[in-house]
Amino acid sequence: MKKLIFAVIVLSIGYFTIAKAEDKTVTPQEFVESVASVPGKVGNHITNEWEDIKAYQAKSWADSKAQLQRLLSKFSKKDD
């Protein structure tokens, strides 16, 4: 009896966790619109990535310059 209840519980959990496929149809108009929007999306992505890279490089160069200045100040001769 315990095995039967356990089997029912396992099967019911398995049934409820199975992903159900959606039956969505794509019209030719939707397909054309999605294909036509690809160049714009790619261009926007590249532009955004370029801006992110420029911002990162500016911050990285500023950090490197500050590190170099700290290193040079440690080795510079001080007239005391």
What does each of the 80 residues of the chain score in pLDDT, given as a tens digit?
Answer: 888 888 888 888 777 777 566 778 889 999 899 989 999 999 999 999 999 999 999 999 999 999 999 999 988 866 54
Look up the pTM and report it: 0.52
Q: Which amino acid, residue 62?
A: A
| Alpha carbons 58 and 50: distance in angstroms, whole number | 12
> In which residue are the tokens 């500016």 written?
58
> In which residue are the tokens 């999306």 written?
41
